[in-house]
Structure 1
């Protein structure tokens, strides 16, 4: 379908088709820009791109999700931070980042089609960036490895789009393996693929999209990042990753004695405890005990709600209702301020949990959330 849409839009046949997934972050929220640990897995939901090269210095972009149906034409020579807005800034930023890094990349015609929900905390922007980078790397024979490719996509989002995100989302989209969660050390980018087969244990992980939209480029996300950096500077470490869990209480006392405010101290506490939760979840999965992960998810939500303060009423309602309905654990996932929550539940109780959450939203007068089962899919790849 995407190849046919490309031909209808641009009038000729594309050279190939690529796909990159959205992601769910199982545990490890806001730790990536603190050099910490994360554990995402890829969703089956993907952004697909059909692409052909151009030799006239133009980048032409079209998306089936754009209600205007317009083709956006951009001159490569004019690409610079702040000059492109809207969804086209993400692929334009990727091409800019590739050229800034010294890669010989010309123009392209690209048609996009996506099943990754936007604004749901499931990394639709990273999927868009990664599929663009992979397609251009293949077509222009750049030979980019997945790690450097993810870094270039992060630079596109940070420096071109202006969203101060960490490296997790792009790495998850580029590097995840089907049937596995990705344990990623965001400092040195070492990776472990950890088997993640909940069905074999009689479990499911539900994603609950609250349909509350958010934007990482909003000031609140940047405020959290700057607060973490201030905490690390006050403690004399390169990043909060460098504060061991067993030294957290002493570190918090040092911050208080030095006049660091309560808000920054809360941010520090979340990052240090969240890194420990990632390590504990990885150990439980490797030991074959996924049920024991549930309480750690719930603990992580409390930390994001109370210390990092990035939850919202809709996300809190999902978590509280799911737990009351018998779920093993639940938490918000993604950057926060809206988006999605995840719920770990026994197979036999998933219908009850879903019905309870939907009824709770109805009682509040809110639009019904979208609920689906998340299974770990494959990372970015060429599909045609």
Structure 2
């Protein structure tokens, strides 16, 4: 079977009638812990996974961009750098690309055009950040092709700006930073306010399992936006710049100003950032007992305080937690479930998930056995 790089090269020849000059890639991601803390400017601990977007490119002498994707077959999409036009319909995949060039132009950067053939194996619409992989791969390609010498962090910032303002999808910086800056075999502890990051080596005895219960993604995203808006309202009530600044004393004193649900939302964000720092330390020390406890506390807070865990997710997460005990951790992550468990338990955990979810719902879960990959770059 052809890999994405080979597929991208073939797609390029099929659509443009010539060979591409270069290949670039960027990975998707799963977040270990730090749920709903990125847009609150707290701490997150994502890991890049071995699913990526690959772009085959050929340099042009003008400022035209032409792009085709295997995921959305059809006519070649075309636009000119600095003349992207209105990007009002965020349902079009190529608006992520137009957003990048528009954000670059607004930043005072200049770049000549490219012909692009895009192939990806990041599952779409599953919370594994296929959009960030596309953005970062494209931003990396432009930086190399035009010798802009942009740092990975700069590409991440441009990509976040593109998605937040150009495609009307306001987002935190986590997805773009992990796709751009990831190191193989490491997670990345990110401070979403300071934009500092620290690689965290994952214990080599752990398997990384991503479990997709095939939820209603539209309803999940509507709930996500509602929780985000609630956090912004709480921040305004408390007179803070973000919930990152919230302390236990402040929250206790302000309890009468908040509804019960607002209090619990704020409590989750405050404690989740604390748990994220503790989880990173536990992984660095290979303290799986502590890591398991922290992940379970995060799950309970997401379920009881933030109220974003469905009964089906709760059932599967609790089943895995009870089975692995102190030999791993499991929780929800952006609508999926992430489990980091001892290698020896991998097959049994997968079988447990398949059986427990099917017996509960009659449906099948989609399970990915992943590895922690490196960030974006040119494929040589």
Structure 1 residue 264 corresponds to structure 2 residue 262: yes
Aligned length: 371
C-alpha separation in 1, matches of 2:216 and 2:289: 31
1:213 positional shift: 4.9
1:222 positional shift: 2.6
Corresponding residue for residue 3 of structure 2: none
Q: 1:151 to 1:298 in 2, by over 3 A?
A: same
1:215 positional shift: 5.3
Structure 1 residue 72 corresponds to structure 2 residue 77: yes
Report if aligned partners of 2:200, 2:284 keep a CA contact under 8 Å in 1. Answer: yes
C-alpha separation in 1, matches of 2:166 and 2:365: 32
C-alpha separation in 2, matches of 1:266 and 1:290: 28
Corresponding residue for residue 363 of structure 1: 359
SS in structure 2 of the partner of residue 325 of structure 1: helix
Q: 1:364 to 1:290 in 2, by over 3 A?
A: closer
Corresponding residue for residue 236 of structure 1: 239
SS in structure 1 of the partner of residue 348 of structure 2: helix
Corresponding residue for residue 209 of structure 1: 212
State the Cα deviation string for residues 267-308 of structure 1 (Å, max 9, x = none): 111110101101111221222323421121121112112222
C-alpha separation in 1, matches of 2:220 and 2:319: 30
1:132 positional shift: 0.5
SS in structure 1 of the partner of residue 278 of structure 2: helix
> What residue ranges of structure 1 are gaps of 5+ in the alignment?
none
> What residue ranges of structure 2 are gaps of 5+ in the alignment?
1-5
Q: 1:178 to 1:215 in 2, by over 3 A?
A: farther
Corresponding residue for residue 5 of structure 1: 11
The two structures have a TM-score, normalised by structure 1, of: 0.90
Report if aligned partners of 2:358, 2:365 keep a CA contact under 8 Å in 1. Answer: no
Corresponding residue for residue 278 of structure 1: 276
Match of 2:226 among 223, 227, 232: 223
The two structures have a TM-score, normalised by structure 2, of: 0.91
Q: Within 5 Å, give how 1:218-367 maps onto structure 2.
A: 218-244=221-247, 248=248, 250-258=249-257, 260-326=258-324, 328-334=328-334, 338=335, 340-367=336-363
C-alpha separation in 1, matches of 2:221 and 2:127: 14
SS in structure 2 of the partner of residue 87 of structure 1: coil
C-alpha separation in 2, matches of 1:194 and 1:377: 13
Q: 1:306 to 1:324 in 2, by over 3 A?
A: same
Corresponding residue for residue 373 of structure 1: 369
Report if aligned partners of 1:162, 1:217 keep a CA contact under 8 Å in 2. Answer: no
Q: 1:193 to 1:92 in 2, by over 3 A?
A: same
Corresponding residue for residue 93 of structure 2: 87
Report if aligned partners of 1:120, 1:210 keep a CA contact under 8 Å in 2. Answer: no
C-alpha separation in 1, matches of 2:216 and 2:159: 22
Moved more, 174-183 or 366-375: 366-375
Report if aligned partners of 1:18, 1:381 keep a CA contact under 8 Å in 2. Answer: yes
Q: 1:178 to 1:216 in 2, by over 3 A?
A: farther
State the Cα deviation string for residues 113-134 of structure 1 (Å, max 9, x = none): 1111112211111101100000
C-alpha separation in 2, matches of 1:54 and 1:92: 17
Structure 1 residue 169 corresponds to structure 2 residue 172: no
